[in-house]
Structure 1
């Protein structure tokens, strides 16, 4: 199915240009939109995410993660961990979407957590602990 086919099938809900930006990694997708896009393609949502064969991504709802958390952008920019580099790219995308370039802290919302965990190949509930290990979480 072409990007224009998806645009037509979704009644313009997903523009071809936006879909292309998702594919190129130039734009982040929220979990609800990812789920909706998976419905249009008639596939499980995790098939639309990049991963290696050994990574298992759980996109089921969880009650243990009800709120987001805050990332220290200063610590993030100082980190040389490969996962921090991925997080930095994702954080930059969030800042761009929100037009939030003012502070040294960035709030990661619940939906952002799910996508970020999937991108990092981790379970959502494990993400805060990993970010604590990296010294990137500003608050619990």
Structure 2
């Protein structure tokens, strides 16, 4: 078994849920037939991108898990978040960032209220909270003028 092969990854993902091929068929109400899933996992049958996306949605696993060698686009730097400008922002988007920043400040016991250094891991988590990738998050923060130089 090659853990980097998408067909093998399908099997690993299914088994990580503790499901047999029959469990997949039963839990999908017959949408995904055991024989078809088995043929995808053995690479006897090609799976289209559309079906792969649908199957990963059913498994509740990101499609990127089929391709573990492709690194996610992540920032390698921390940023300084301008808390003064952030507090003046009035939108649903900024309220998510405000709650996130407050949580980090409380956890770090950092109450200067001017600038917050958002570390790489914090940035990844904030991207997940805002339901976007890190590049999009950084672009949005730049557009709002919330990144302090």
SS at match of 1:70: strand
1:75 and 2:85 aligned? yes
Query: 2:36 maps to what in 1?
Result: none
In the alignment, is the contact (CA less than 8 A) between 2:74 and 2:134 conserved in 1? no
Q: Secondary structure at the match of 1:126?
A: helix
Over 3 Å counting, the alpha-carbon distance change for 1:125 and 1:78 in structure 2 is: same
| 1:117 aligned to which of 95, 103, 127 | 127
If asked which structure has higher relative contact order (CA below 8 Å, sep 6+), I would say: 1
Post-superposition, which runs of at least 4 consecutive aligned residues in structure 1 deviate over 3 A? 56-64
Report how many residues are paired.
Answer: 86
Check 1:74–1:63 CA distance in 2 against 1; reply closer, same or farther (3 A cut): same
TM-score normalized with structure 2 length: 0.51
Larger Rg: 2
Structure 1 vs Structure 2 CA RMSD: 2.5
Give the TM-score normalised by the residue count of structure 1. 0.54
Q: Is the 8 A contact 1:65 1:110 kept in 2?
A: yes
**Where do 5+ consecutive residues of structure 1 fail to align?**
1-41, 44-55
Q: Structure 2: which 5+ runs fail to align?
A: 1-15, 18-61
